Structure 1
């Protein structure tokens, strides 16, 4: 099969999966609507969900409304590096003078547990959350915790990256693939597919994130094992791998030159010529992309600021300046890359993977048998139920 045919098939498969995902979401929304309303008659009436229209106010108009409501905003963001969103905080405050924003970065699996506990206490600290734990959003929607809102640019977002009723929407497309140290490995010799990392020449030169600590990394290993069998893990364990908590920390190990390569880290699609690291896509294997998804909570103390923030994240000025694939179909990817749907990567598969929590728990324990228990502290150094203190 030639490359053009493979590309067309991968794109067709993506579209088919997208349609299936959208239909499933519509069915879920329909079922949820059946459980709402008055039960006086003994039956659940079928009531339409009250979905909002797409936002029509400009960012400047939204800014004025947010200032009038108090100008504060707290965001819980998934990530594994302390203060990783500091540049976004500053950009928001520069773009919208008078606004006060705190974006607290922590592992998504800690943030979602934190949010669940806060909701149970009727004392929610964050207004907005954008996390890797995609399975939480449908649950939070069904439980009635999310504010239905369709930000500016909504109609341009890939359909599978948004809830049809406006409960949540993707704000970034993250990619996990090969990261190499450009000073240690010529690009032509870099490991790119899973089997490449088993070559003896890479022994002692690989850093990987614990798969039983990060569901996105676990998904990568699950894909490899489904294709190569558990024997892949047997051989990988002979490569003297450095196992680490956090995907950005793994990238930093490579960037510093302590290790030569990893396949469990994300980074910008393009980097400056003098960058110590570079992201390289596989030659043959599929790879992981997923829509980092955001939502506003009904219990948000400053919903106007939250709406401004979500609309700003989807704006062209934000989508084109981060070196990532845009979530919008009307925008071009970074130079040298095609639209994400043209590659052998299927975000809807990761979403389906995240829904099966029982299977994920089984996989985590299997990985622990191979690698051992997770070592090291939380890389974000964030602790406590109310870490911002609001």
Structure 2
């Protein structure tokens, strides 16, 4: 594979030696630990729980947070790690996202010092697992319509409701649950062994098979007063966590796309038909060129967003640009890459279709295409169009 095939615009020159060093360490981990096993894990719908501690040892869990055993890495470094993890599989990057960008960020940003000390060091090490319960069966894109409630009972709280599509819930030690109260939406830390908390895996799935997504049922879950996140009042708090996850997604999607492209390129050079490698044919080269164009552009979008984030200048509307564009383009790249393999492309011997199936889920979570389109539309026009009649 030529240098131009790997990095056409020499984007590596835009990163520091420290950033590239971290990227390469994560790439080596993915190459050694994930890629040799992912087809088997995916087919068996298995998430390897033991990999959490391995990722913790690499400093990947809550890596953008500081203190409490967290690595305190930059946004760009977190993005590069996300890219490499998703080159292995979306489920691996999703684990890091749910653990770090959602559950750990909620505790780090909105929790008490006691809550941080209790949970974050173990979560950073991978000894403890967290999940993030916002989405509900009837409230996905519209979390303000959630039906889960938390009612004061003496000095404590009683939670009732249901959550859906909650990553890691069946293996989690603590759940960050968002519920309506008389004070507005509040966040609660619910140890998953609490009576009335039930998590059930959502099965079968056509994508994200090496990951865990669950239904959660909350039936008269009794919590002490100190279970509430003191700094979280209203939907701004969970949206802050979602924005952290959206940021990682824009990098991760390009990792999946890059892996699909590299697999397709290697196959095109080794597969012979009509007396020549299929990579010598014009239509195959057009597909490969289109992939390179979008991967390089998408990586530039992610990098620009990361630099803005590290400088403190990033606006939340700008996250929608990267999430919408990069996931949408990554799906098309993976689908196109699959066609280069012909019939062989539908097997788990090759990664593109697995990536494409995973990315259909990534396209939906942390904001659908439609929601990010409307977020961008509001930013461009100044007019909200999130519900009928609001566009004027």
Band the TM-score falls in, shorter-chain normalisation: under 0.3
Higher helix share: 2
Q: TM-score, normalised by structure 2?
A: 0.26
| Structure ranking higher on relative contact order (CA contacts 8 Å, 6+ apart) | 1
Q: TM-score, normalised by structure 1?
A: 0.26
